[in-house]
Amino acid sequence: MPLPTAAFVLASLGKGLPANAADVPLPRPRPPIAALPPVAVASDHGPPTNCDKRLAAMADFKPKPTLTGPGACGGPDLIELDAVLLPDGRRVAVTPAATLQCGMAESFAAWIRDEVVKRLAPLKSPLHAVIDEDSYECRGRNRVVGAKVSEHGKGNAIDVRGFVLADRRKFVLTDVNEPKDLRLSLQESACGRFTTVLGPGADAYHDQHIHLDVLARHNGYRICEWAVREPVPPPTVAKAQIPLPPPRPLLPADPRKL
C-alpha cells in the first residue's frame, strides 16, 4: 500500500480547524525564568563603625562593601586585613590579605600583637608575616554541599597555616617537627582567645591548618580541638638472631709433633 503524500497528511490534519489561520489562538507566553541569586551582593560599607576606629590603631585594612547572599552568607562591616601593626611600629603582613568582619579582625589582630609575637620570641627572629589559608568564602562547612553555612561564609573565621619570620624561616603550626612546647603555647593562647579552634585531631579537613573563629554559642560554650602531635618514631626492626655455626671437630694430633 503506498504511503500517504505530505499534501494528504496536511489536508487530513486541517479537517475541523477554522478556515482562517488568524482565528487559531496562540499559546500563552511562558513566564520568565527567575534569575538565580548571586553569591553575594555588594552595598556601601557606610561610615566607619566604632570597631573600624578601634581596629585602625592596630591594623592596616581597607573597608569592604557589605556582602549579602543566599542563606546566611555575607555580613556587615567587612574589611580587608592587610597587616597587623605592633606596638613598636613594626608591621606584620597578612598574606594574602584576609576578608573578615571587623570584630573577628580585631580579635585576630589582638592575638597576633599580644600573644603570638612574644610566644615566637624563642625563635630569635621577629615575626614578619602570617600565612592566611582562607578567610571569607560563601560556602557550607568543610565545603560540603547543603551543609550549614560556615563561619567563613560570614567573614567570621580565618584559617592560619603558619608564620614567616624576618630571617625567612617558616613556622608551620601543624608541623610535628617544630618545637612542641612552642606549639602547645600557641594552642593555649588561641583557645583562650577564640571560641572555635580546629586543627589536627578535629577532622581530616583541618590537618594542615588551624581554623579560628569567634562564633557565639549558648552559655559561652567553646570548642578547642587541636592535637599538638609529636613526630612518629621510625618503626623498629627486630634484629634477627643469627645462629652461630657449630664448633668444628677436633683434628687428630700430628704424630710428628708428639
SS3 category, 130: strand
Do residues 132 and 104 make contact, with C-beta atoms less than 8 angstroms apart? Answer: no
* Percent with pLDDT over 70 in the chain: 73
The reported pLDDT for the residue numbered 202 is: 92
The reported pLDDT for the residue numbered 65 is: 83
What are the residue ranges spanned by the domains of the chain?
A: 41-177
The reported pLDDT for the residue numbered 12 is: 47
Chain mean pLDDT for the chain: 82
The reply to whether omega before 76 is within 30° of 0 (cis) is: no
pLDDT, one tens digit per residue, over 130-158 is 999 999 988 877 776 666 888 998 999 99
Whether 27 shows a pLDDT value over 60: the answer reads no
The reported pLDDT for the residue numbered 173 is: 97
Virtual torsion, Cα 207, 213, 219, 222, nearest 10 deg: 30
Residue 230 amino acid letter: E
> β-pairing, 78-85 with 91-101?
antiparallel
Do residues 193 and 111 make contact, with C-beta atoms less than 8 angstroms apart? Answer: yes
pLDDT, one tens digit per residue, over 12-21 is 444 444 445 4
Strand partners, 210: 160
Whether 216 shows a pLDDT value over 80: the answer reads yes
Calpha distance 219→150 (Å, rounded)? 21
* Percent with pLDDT over 90 in the chain: 56
- Reported as half-sphere exposure (CB side, CA atoms, 13 A), residue 57 has a value of 7
Whether 9 shows a pLDDT value over 50: the answer reads no
The reported pLDDT for the residue numbered 73 is: 81
Do residues 49 and 66 make contact, with C-beta atoms less than 8 angstroms apart? Answer: no
At 115, the pLDDT band (50, 70, 90 cuts) reads very high
The reported pLDDT for the residue numbered 246 is: 79
The reported pLDDT for the residue numbered 254 is: 60
- Reported as half-sphere exposure (CB side, CA atoms, 13 A), residue 194 has a value of 33
Which one, of 76, 73, 48, 46, lies nearest residue 61 by Cα? 48
Whether 89 shows a pLDDT value over 80: the answer reads yes
Cα separations in angstroms, 178 against 89, 182, 184: 28, 8, 11
Which one, of 60, 145, 142, lies nearest residue 98 by Cα? 60
Do residues 75 and 100 make contact, with C-beta atoms less than 8 angstroms apart? Answer: no
The reported pLDDT for the residue numbered 134 is: 94
Q: Which residue has the higher pLDDT, 139 or 164?
A: 164
The pLDDT of 37-44, averaged and rounded, is 50
Q: Which residue has the higher pLDDT, 64 or 73?
A: 64
Q: Return the axis-axis angle of helices 180-193 and 102-111, rounded to nearest 10°.
A: 140
Calpha distance 112→164 (Å, rounded)? 13
Cα separations in angstroms, 109 against 27, 35, 61, 99, 156: 63, 40, 11, 13, 13
